[in-house]
């Protein structure tokens, strides 16, 4: 059995020390690794990242994370990644990592993702150059994610995103903002890559469970949704 602890949208600020850290003590008895699905901070300010990094040092299991849109706001992404990497956190952005758990290989492909919308209510690569660039970026990221997933030669393939790949886990959010919460290109990548499961955050008013058109489980682990420090999921 593979045990996965997952959470997202923890939105650390400089006063958040020990908010998550206190729950990481003994986590190795419950999970084999921890996934963080983006929006790790309020604004991506280095001081916020340092506070989070200090907390995450208490974690006795591997931590794999992607960044969220909030983490980009201060425009210090490289510094933020360095701060977290120095504390042992593995940041994925269109990359993957393979870890060994209970004699099984688990591949984790991670990407922030982007908006764009879903079938029947999505943007298109047409019109103004700004709109073309928006959708082109979404497509390119998803196609790259698909490639990364397919390249994993592992027993399990886990996908970690910030933006949602499906509408299902957005239920409860205003439909007007669906195009800013995710896009269906990501679901195509998850399906075509034959992932085992996909985790995301970002949708604070959404629901936890859904699946891609291809039937792959999707879990929205934003803290306002799961209402815990983290949830535990298993792959059997």
Q: What one-character-per-residue DSSP string does 138-207 give?
A: HHHHHHHHHHHHHT--SSEEEEEESSBS-SGGGBTB-GGGGGGTBBHHHHHHHHHTT-SEEEE---TTS-
Can you give the pTM of this predicted structure?
Answer: 0.97
Helix (H, G, I), strand (E, B) or coil at 114: coil
Cα distance between residue 9 and residue 113, in whole Å: 15
5-25 burial: b if 16+ Cβ within 10 Å, else e: bbbbbbbbeeebeebbbebbe
Query: For 118, which DSSP code?
Result: E
Token pair for residue 202? 């970002």
From the CA atom positions of the chain, what is the Rg in Å?
A: 17
Q: Do 212 and 198 contact (CB within 8 A), yes or no?
A: yes
Measured CA to CA in angstroms, residue 128 lies from 4, 118, 131, 185 at distances of 43, 20, 5, 21
> Class assignment of domain 2-235?
alpha beta
Question: What per-residue confidence (pLDDT) applies to 19?
Answer: 93
Strand-pairing partners, residue 164, are 182
Strands annotated E in 67-141: 90-91, 95-101, 104-111, 117-118, 121-122
> Strands 231-235, 2-7: parallel, antiparallel or unpaired by DSSP?
antiparallel
Render each residue's pLDDT in the chain as its tens digit; 236 residues.
Answer: 999 999 999 999 999 999 999 999 999 999 999 999 999 999 999 999 999 999 999 999 999 999 999 999 999 999 999 999 999 999 999 999 999 999 999 999 999 999 999 999 999 999 999 999 999 999 999 999 999 999 999 999 999 999 999 999 999 999 999 999 999 999 999 999 999 999 999 999 999 999 999 999 999 999 999 999 999 999 98
Is the Cα dihedral 115, 70, 222, 32 positive or negative? positive
Cα distance between residue 236 and residue 5, in whole Å: 15
Q: Do 50 and 79 contact (CB within 8 A), yes or no?
A: no
Token pair for residue 210? 């859904």
């Amino acid at each position: 059995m593979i045990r996965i602890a997952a959470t997202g949208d923890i939105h650390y600020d400089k006063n958040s020390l020990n908010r998550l850290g206190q729950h990481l003590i003994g986590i190795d008895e419950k999970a084999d690794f921890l996934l963080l699905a983006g929006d790790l901070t309020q604004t991506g300010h280095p001081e916020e990242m340092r506070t989070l990094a200090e907390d995450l040092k208490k974690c006795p299991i591997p931590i794999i994370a992607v960044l969220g849109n909030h983490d980009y706001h201060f425009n210090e992404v490289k510094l933020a990644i360095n701060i977290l990497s120095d504390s042992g956190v593995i940041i994925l952005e269109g990359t993957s990592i393979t870890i060994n758990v209970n004699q099984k290989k688990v591949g984790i492909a991670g990407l922030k993702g982007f908006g764009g919308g879903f079938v029947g209510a999505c943007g298109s690569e047409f019109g103004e150059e700004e709109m073309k660039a928006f959708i082109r970026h979404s497509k390119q990221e998803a196609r790259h994610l698909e490639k990364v997933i397919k390249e994993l030669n592992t027993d399990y393939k886990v996908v970690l995103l910030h933006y949602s790949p499906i509408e299902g886990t957005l239920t409860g959010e205003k439909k007007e903002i669906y195009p800013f919460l995710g896009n269906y290109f990501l679901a195509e990548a998850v399906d075509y890559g034959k992932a085992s499961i996909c985790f995301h955050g970002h949708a604070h008013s959404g629901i936890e469970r859904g699946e891609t058109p291809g039937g792959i489980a999707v879990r929205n682990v934003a803290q306002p949704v799961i209402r815990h420090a983290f949830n535990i999921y298993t792959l059997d």
